[in-house]
Structure 1
Amino acid sequence: MSELIDVALAKEKADLIVANGTLVNVYTGELLEETGVAVKGEYVAYVGPNWEGMVGADTVVIDAGGRFLVPGFIDAHAHVDNLYMVSEFVKYAVPGGTTTVITETSAVANAMGYAGVVAFVEVLKAQPIPMYALAPAMVPAYPDFESSSNLSNEEIEGILELPDVVGLGETYWPRVIQSDEDVLRRVAFARQLHKPVQGHSAGARSNKLAAYAAAGILSCHEPITADEAMERLRLGMHVMVRDGSMRRDLEAISSIKDRNIDLRRVVLVTDGLWPDDLLELGCVDFLVRKAIGLGFDPMKAIQMATINPAEHFHLDHLVGGIAPGKYANLLLVPDLREVKCDCVISKGRVVAEHGRMTVPVQADAYPEALLRTMHLPCKLVAGDFAVEAPDGPSKAQVRVMDIVGEMLVAEHHTMLPVVDGHLQADPTADIIKVATLNRYDGLGTRFVAFLRGFGLRSGAMASSVCWDTYNIVVAGAGDDDMAVATNRLAELQGGVVLCEEGRILEEIPLPIGGIISTLPTVDVRDRLLHIDQELVRLGCTLSNPFLTLQTLTFTGVPHLRLTERGLLDVRHRKLVGVVV
């Protein structure tokens, strides 16, 4: 601290000075020309015009030449805990200007338990930018109906106490307003630590939404319309406007800029990026550009990606703006509407220039035990995917999971034939089988159901990336291929596998906890694209089949969901069978 004081008083020389820039001051909303930023170590010591006396023989001086000095961007609701390594994410997010990340940990928590979350936090700390975690709120989300690497209250509280954990992750509203004892205990503990609780309030409104806010939930990333965003803002919540690979809601919500309201509680977030979007669009820089293109004032758009999230997470003493005492996280940007970075500085180091990293990034390191998390008792055979029929009739009425949107599944009833006492799928009528298997209990506990809308005429696809339990989900037109795909997935210790007539068409190994690949992001992207191409050939008509497959088990949204204990009627919170 004394070094920063001495540099600001020109008694000591700075390590780095960015001179002659136009400061984007997110605290006041001003653009301040002829500004210099003096850096000592990781921190800003001085901001202003009187920097020349801080230059010494060893001081690195970067002449901004009038370019804008923009605070490093913050992704305040990320999911960098599955598909690709954190180090791979950093390589592509940082050059665009994302210098701080706050990520959920629900995937590593469900897949790898307490040890996995602790290891993941250590991986975050090893990166060249500040990266923070949110403690998982519900592992699994609904323990009465599903299983994963279940975390106790004490384990979640232990995670919350870690210094680099800055809040409690997204907390589903039904369990909160039902006064679930475990959930309210975790919320109270987070509040005791002054760590904000993140929300997940899709479908909540009016009194239910107010009750949710009353419990201490401080943010939500689920609004999909301007009116939904306004309702949450009026309750004092931070609204995290999501525009990433799961959903793109910024355009639909953008009209809030015309409502003459204070935008200080509006935050731009990705909610997770798939490899293709990360590689082609970037990270938060893309959101800022899009917001400006939709008519937001550039200063407001930048504030929504810097100071607003920093204040929400009580990190504004470190990040969110360019000011003395903060981390030296700043971007050199020629055009404030294009927001393309010439140079990215994080913690006082130049970490990227002209779209490329300039510092090494350390590969993720995990304990060996977390590389072997597939605990199926034996190889599966076609008969393991048989569905017993009621005695007697040659046909039976069954419940079918009916895909009506990328992440929406309704309940459909239809008659299916019975052969040798087992219900038969009918791929010609777009009815195939889908199953989920518990990979944690060592028993391979499973449930097999029927699915409409996937479109497969042949083949099967299996994945150990499936919300929120990260068990195994497999969909297929034939039982033999379902067994082949699942067995190969187990051999890989997790992954995504597509097969047809016993032949593996493509696979993505995910050996870290069964959810994270060690491959370069480009390779993961290319393999996912190949899977999409092969699925089209096999008859699939979905726009995003991998997303649909992995969310068939997601019990956080209506209507009919797949668990290893049965089909879950989400609205009525009860398990139902296949046969009606």
Structure 2
Amino acid sequence: MEKIRGNIVNLKEEKIFFGDVIISGGLVFDLVFISEEEKGERYILPGFVDSHIHIESSMLVPSEFAKVAVRTGVVATVSDPHEIANVLGVDGVEYMRLNGVLSGFKFFFGVPSCVPAVLFDRSGAVLDSRIVSEMLESGNYFYLSEMMNFPGVVGGDLDVKAKIDAALRCGVKVDGHAPGLVGGDLKAYVGAGITTDHECMSLQEAEEKIRLGMKIQIREGSAAKNFDSLIDIVKVYPDMVMLCSDDCHPDDLLNGYFVGLLKRALSKGVNLFDALRISGYNAVKHYNLPVGLLQKGDSADFIVVDNLSDFNVKKTVVDGSVLFENGVVCTNSVEVEVVNNFVENIISVDDVKVLSPCEDSVLVRVIGVLEGELYTHSEVCRLAVQNGEVFSQKDSDILKIVALNRYQKAKPSVGFIRGFGLKKGAICSSVSHDSHNIVAIGVDDESIVKVINAVVASKGGLAYADEDVVKVLELPVAGIMAAAPAEKVADEYRCLLEITKKSGSIVKAPFMTMAFMSLIVIPELKISDQGLFDVLEFKPTSLFVNER
């Protein structure tokens, strides 16, 4: 048996007492009360749980992600392997699960429900209702991941219904994804068995969903940041809220990750016990996770911090094993296997030309970027025509955006986007939700082609290029993750950010934001490898606007 003495935080009874945590066989064997008075500078409390995250968006494989997470007191994640599923299907999901198991950290993977999210978006795999049912019935997965096809739910799509029915039959939760859904459609969506949503933008939207029985996951990721808009809902509905990151790049992981959210919640007036509940307790209860909450008989999953304001993590324990202590990470070493699905598709300047139907000027649909949001505006702008072509117009901050299929040889689709601010060069990524085709934004056609071909040559990555420079952060694992430690990936990513900002980008997280410009289930206007998509109408739309 092992004994750890300190101020024990009991979330169930909302009290703190000085005592001993007795550990045996990976379990909390006993909690020994010594005094009601808090003593010393050591607090023992349940570990944090990220209630919704795509590990792939960290650009780290699970075993490398775990090395960062344990430093910040996170002991478990509710992980949606949707990204790698779009690339490699069931094999990709199993890759994530098995790599995570070897780390010693608690990854709870769900079965992706929407691969692909929309048939207009061509991905590397398809998970139909039969495959989803088989995966759920295996017992290796803990929930049905976010159901993004809310029109399919509301409209009674048979394949969508079969996936939800399979989850309910297996007794697991169904995660939601319903940006802006209200009224009768929302009631139908919740009534189908959807239990959570991480896409709320306002208190009003969150409260309507909570009143219908949904749990709200307040998201604060590298691109989408809804924390400040939603945190006050905790003061009214503390048992109906969880914290999540959704998508988090490695530099943000290394800069505090979940501890930062907890401290911000306290600074916004959320009381200590409610702040701790939304940081893990509620997720454990909602998903019925085998994660300990520092109760007798629980798994020994807990953290030790120096105080209850700074939450400097001194020790992280999972299943009784120390995974982090006094600055040293003790997770298992796991060899990173490289798996991928990437067809070489080199393009030329002719492939990204936009030929105009008019001689002098033309009206085009433009994707309008909103800082800190995954939503976009659908704008109509008049652009000049030069020698029969339409080019980026950097003075108006209207740049070309190009999407290229990476699973088969095909011509790219080309559109226009406003809000990135680039003054020279181009950026590109093979991390582009949800199908992870290649997406690029640039000032001139030559830079766009150069940066896309650099990513193709690397079989995945993030990149910047101009007439003088090409810089690539290689992501060889499924074209979306690195085979390297977090610190190396974060350093290379910071270098890319720096050169992109020096080239004029005004977006805080340009690569993460660009990755969501192809997510054609979030309004209003997005682009896939097959062209522009009007999400409000939920159908393809044309680049040019008819002026008649």
Q: TM-score scaled by structure 1?
A: 0.87
Q: Which runs of 5+ in 2 are unaligned?
A: none
Secondary structure of 2:313's match? coil
| Residue of 434, 459, 465 corresponding to 2:431 | 465
1:250-290 C-alpha deviation (Å, 9 max, x unpaired): 3332323444x5x2222122223211211111x33322222
**Equivalent residue number for residue 243 of structure 2:** 268
**Equivalent residue number for residue 75 of structure 1:** 50
Compared CA separation, residues 147 and 209, structure 1 to 2 (3 A): same
1:486-511 C-alpha deviation (Å, 9 max, x unpaired): 1111111100111111x443210000
**Equivalent residue number for residue 91 of structure 1:** 67
Question: Offset at 1:421?
Answer: 4.3
The percent of aligned pairs where both chains have the same amino acid is 27
**Equivalent residue number for residue 39 of structure 1:** 23
User: Mean alpha-carbon deviation: is it higher for 115-124 or for 451-460?
Assistant: 451-460
**Equivalent residue number for residue 423 of structure 1:** 390
Question: Offset at 1:346?
Answer: 1.2
Structure 1 residue 29 and structure 2 residue 3: aligned?
Answer: no
Q: Which whole-Å CA distance do the structure 2 matches of 1:241 and 1:410 have between them?
A: 23
1:76–1:269 Cα contact (<8 Å) kept: yes
Question: Offset at 1:349?
Answer: 1.4
Q: Which whole-Å CA distance do the structure 1 matches of 2:220 and 2:105 have between them?
A: 22
Structure 1 residue 507 and structure 2 residue 472: aligned?
Answer: yes
1:366-400 C-alpha deviation (Å, 9 max, x unpaired): 5xxx23x22134x211111122332x634333222
Structure 1 residue 548 and structure 2 residue 513: aligned?
Answer: yes
**Equivalent residue number for residue 532 of structure 1:** 497
Structure 1 residue 343 and structure 2 residue 315: aligned?
Answer: yes
Larger radius of gyration: 1
2:132–2:163 Cα contact (<8 Å) kept: yes
Question: Offset at 1:522?
Answer: 2.2
| Residue of 365, 375, 379 corresponding to 1:412 | 379
Structure 1 residue 564 and structure 2 residue 539: aligned?
Answer: no
| Amino acid in the other structure paired with 2:211 | R
Question: Offset at 1:361?
Answer: 3.3
1:95–1:354 Cα contact (<8 Å) kept: no
Compared CA separation, residues 514 and 341, structure 1 to 2 (3 A): same
Q: Which whole-Å CA distance do the structure 2 matches of 1:253 and 1:400 have between them?
A: 29
Question: Offset at 1:520?
Answer: 2.6
Compared CA separation, residues 85 and 578, structure 1 to 2 (3 A): same
Compared CA separation, residues 537 and 319, structure 1 to 2 (3 A): closer
Q: Which whole-Å CA distance do the structure 1 matches of 2:226 and 2:377 have between them?
A: 23
Structure 1 residue 388 and structure 2 residue 355: aligned?
Answer: yes
Q: Which whole-Å CA distance do the structure 1 matches of 2:393 and 2:518 have between them?
A: 22
Q: Which whole-Å CA distance do the structure 1 matches of 2:233 and 2:363 have between them?
A: 48
2:354–2:390 Cα contact (<8 Å) kept: yes
Secondary structure of 1:350's match? strand
| Residue of 116, 119, 122 corresponding to 2:98 | 122
Q: Which whole-Å CA distance do the structure 1 matches of 2:234 and 2:391 have between them?
A: 54
Q: Which whole-Å CA distance do the structure 2 matches of 1:401 and 1:187 have between them?
A: 33
Question: Offset at 1:108?
Answer: 0.7
Q: Which whole-Å CA distance do the structure 1 matches of 2:380 and 2:223 have between them?
A: 29
| Amino acid in the other structure paired with 2:176 | G
User: Mean alpha-carbon deviation: is it higher for 243-252 or for 477-486?
Assistant: 243-252
Compared CA separation, residues 416 and 303, structure 1 to 2 (3 A): closer
Pairing of 1:60-209 with structure 2 (within 5 A): 67-82=42-57, 83-172=59-148, 173-209=150-186
1:153-188 C-alpha deviation (Å, 9 max, x unpaired): 222223323434110111123331122222111111
| Amino acid in the other structure paired with 2:436 | Y
Question: Offset at 1:242?
Answer: 1.8
1:322–1:329 Cα contact (<8 Å) kept: yes
Compared CA separation, residues 330 and 171, structure 1 to 2 (3 A): same
Q: Which whole-Å CA distance do the structure 2 matches of 1:135 and 1:203 have between them?
A: 24
1:39–1:328 Cα contact (<8 Å) kept: yes
Question: Offset at 1:84?
Answer: 1.8
Secondary structure of 1:198's match? strand
Q: Which whole-Å CA distance do the structure 2 matches of 1:457 and 1:288 have between them?
A: 38
**Equivalent residue number for residue 401 of structure 2:** 434
Structure 1 residue 17 and structure 2 residue 3: aligned?
Answer: yes
Q: Which whole-Å CA distance do the structure 2 matches of 1:381 and 1:257 have between them?
A: 52
**Equivalent residue number for residue 305 of structure 1:** 279
CA RMSD of aligned residues (A): 2.2
| Amino acid in the other structure paired with 2:413 | F
Compared CA separation, residues 341 and 535, structure 1 to 2 (3 A): closer
2:391–2:444 Cα contact (<8 Å) kept: no
Q: Which whole-Å CA distance do the structure 2 matches of 1:360 and 1:387 have between them?
A: 51
Q: Which whole-Å CA distance do the structure 1 matches of 2:234 and 2:362 have between them?
A: 54
Compared CA separation, residues 541 and 302, structure 1 to 2 (3 A): closer
Runs of 4+ in 1 over 6 A off after TM superposition: none
